[in-house]
Structure 1
Amino acid sequence: MAAEQAQEAAQHVDVQAEAAKVIDHVSSLDMNQILNDYLIPYGTKILLAIAIFIFGKWIARFISNLLGKAAFASTKDEMLQSFVKSISYFLLLLIVVIAALSQLGINTSSLVALIGAAGLAIGLSLQNSLQNFAAGVMLLIFKPFRKGDLIETGGMTGIVEQMGLLVLELRTGDNKTVLIPNGKVFSDSIVNNSNNETRRIDFTFDISYDSNLKQAKEIIARILADNSLVLKNPEPVIAVGALASSSVQLVVRPWVKTADYWTAYWGITESVKLEFDHAGIEIPFNQMALHLPENASVSVNK
């Protein structure tokens, strides 16, 4: 016990002696020596590192904006412009940070190796995110749609608002925002309803077997001819599509401009219904007709 106390007392004395040496060394320095040996060199490095970071950040943003404008000028694609700006700014800012740390005397080679190892670990843990990122790059390369297009993908229909690094943002017809992972979009079928200037509307109108078929076709032809949204070329198609069990199915195929699709669809549907009612052409609905012989008797057991 006494030996341990003696050892602790000796260590305490050694600490006091080292502290006294440091105090004596600092007290022996004058302000000029402190200024020349410590404040000026290290302060200069810190100020230069801060200047490199601030100026480099501005340069990175300037270059990324130029690259984004160049991408938009060559493709007229706002989504590609945003993608190029984001990626280039991130990579340039990473270079600026490494340069600023190098100015402070930090070994950046080991830092780069550390970033690479961390990137590998993050990549293994975020495989789905990297898949979405790669899918986003492929979508930007092949460009199956642009901002403002009406598309169907991933079980959703909406207008393309923007495509980020990981998700595609759609705005549905009832003004909801839907985010779909890029990987799901790329692996699924994509229907672009806005890619072409014109679209065909597919109608199927049912009339009863007792109705006048020629009159029904003439009414539909007149409605299409009077509708200013229906294109004259290609000419609309009006034909008997099928003889169903309870109706004659008329297939109608007019062409319209893509922007007029729904306006023409709703207008033609309403006009056909009103004209059929006026002409006495019956549009059948599901019903059951029971025909009994005149001499048949019906008995009801109670």
Structure 2
Amino acid sequence: MVLVTTAIVAAARAGSHPWYGHIGDSLPDYGISLAKALAILILTYLVAGVVAQRFRSGFERGGVPADVSLLFARVSWGVAWALGVMWAFYAVGNDLSPLAALIGVVGLALSLSLQSVLQNLVAGIYLLIERPFAIGDTIAVVGPNGANHEGRVEDVQMRTTHMRSRDNELILMPNAAIFNGVVTNRTAVGGYATRVTVTFSKKTDPEDARHRLSALLEALPSILANPAPNLRVDSVGEASWTGSLSFWVASAGASSDAVWAIGGAFPEATVSPAATA
């Protein structure tokens, strides 16, 4: 970053200096100007990092959510660099006209060639501002092009959101896919909607089965009491009937515990898990 910016400052300096007729006379001044610019940019690099870190730690100590603190830290980093680059131009005796023209040309080229990157950048800023989820939340994302992932949010960067799956895999989800997709915040809703298919003998009364199943699930610590478990009869045959038992679990793995508990309490029934909603 420092070397690239120094090259830009040097190019602007060369373009505004009467080199073509007096290159020998101006070479020492040109070297001093480059040294000034390099020193300013190195100082900017150090100050920008310190300022960003102080902003983030200060906001977090004040109780500001981590993702909002991160946004302010990155904005302060960008502002520090913008001020440092302008200071470097002034220090070497250049006005800002060449810099403005260069920024305009580079900005146009980037907007045309890096559209997807810019989309993710803008989406990342919106996610940090609107905060549909926070760092530490568990979310499920159904995005475009078949993107379907679930995990705990570890970081929201400018281009991607980092999620940790249940298998401990690190998922780098483009921010644009999250912004344009359907997001389910598992932490906000408090758990997972689960459905289990149960088949009983026709001798078993559905109402009695409903009460017994509700009492069993309410006794399990991993089952949420609200919404309450609900049993619905789906089909009736000559010797048996089949129903759907809906309930909420605190974590994704708790549904298998519920299936095992139901199978143990009702050995005469057939229990099979359905897809998690």
Q: Same fold (TM over 0.5)?
A: yes
| Mapping of residues 129-168 of structure 1, within 5 Å | 129-153=117-141, 154=143, 155-168=148-161
In the other structure, the counterpart of 1:272 is 262
1:67 to 49, 55, 59: 55
Deviation of 1:254 after TM superposition, in Å, equals 4.5
In the other structure, the counterpart of 1:31 is none
Deviation of 1:160 after TM superposition, in Å, equals 1.0
Cα distance in 2 for partners of 1:173, 1:58 equals 38
Q: Deviation digits for residues 66-103 of structure 1, max 9, x if unmatched?
A: 43345546773323323332333133223213312432
Superposed CA RMSD in Å reads: 3.4
Deviation of 1:50 after TM superposition, in Å, equals 4.8
Query: SS at the partner of 2:187?
Result: coil
Percent identity between the aligned chains?
Answer: 24
- Give the number of aligned pairs: 242
Cα distance in 2 for partners of 1:138, 1:120 equals 22
Greater relative contact order (Cα 8 A, min sep 6): structure 1 or 2?
2
2:231 is the alignment partner of 1:239: yes
Q: Contact 1:166 / 1:181 at 8 angstroms: preserved in 2? A: yes
**Quick one: which amino acid aligns to residue 84 of structure 1?**
F
2:188 is the alignment partner of 1:190: no
2:41 to 53, 74, 95: 53
Deviation of 1:141 after TM superposition, in Å, equals 1.6
2:82 is the alignment partner of 1:94: yes
Deviation of 1:263 after TM superposition, in Å, equals 5.4
Deviation of 1:59 after TM superposition, in Å, equals 3.2
Which deviates more from structure 2 when the two are superposed, residues 151-160 or residues 59-68?
59-68
Query: SS at the partner of 1:162?
Result: strand
Deviation of 1:172 after TM superposition, in Å, equals 1.3
Cα distance in 2 for partners of 1:76, 1:241 equals 48
Query: Structure 1 residues 237 and 118, CA, compared in 2 at 3 Å: closer, same or farther?
Result: closer
Query: SS at the partner of 1:173?
Result: coil
Query: Structure 1 residues 200 and 191, CA, compared in 2 at 3 Å: closer, same or farther?
Result: closer
2:226 is the alignment partner of 1:220: no
Cα distance in 2 for partners of 1:193, 1:235 equals 15
Q: Contact 1:236 / 1:252 at 8 angstroms: preserved in 2? A: no
1:80 to 68, 93, 98: 68
Q: Deviation digits for residues 206-246 of structure 1, max 9, x if unmatched?
A: 22343412553354244234324445x54734433322558
2:198 to 200, 206, 214: 206
Deviation of 1:187 after TM superposition, in Å, equals 0.8
Cα distance in 2 for partners of 1:117, 1:42 equals 25
Largest Rg, 1 or 2: 1
Q: Contact 2:210 / 2:230 at 8 angstroms: preserved in 1? A: yes
Which deviates more from structure 2 when the two are superposed, residues 184-193 or residues 92-101?
92-101
Which deviates more from structure 2 when the two are superposed, residues 117-126 or residues 242-251?
242-251
Give the gaps of 5 or more residues in structure 1: 1-25, 27-33, 286-302
Q: Deviation digits for residues 134-175 of structure 1, max 9, x if unmatched?
A: 111111121111111111113111111111111111111111
2:162 is the alignment partner of 1:169: yes
Q: Contact 1:68 / 1:84 at 8 angstroms: preserved in 2? A: yes
* TM-score, scaled relative to structure 1: 0.66
Which deviates more from structure 2 when the two are superposed, residues 69-78 or residues 265-274?
69-78
Q: Contact 1:208 / 1:284 at 8 angstroms: preserved in 2? A: no
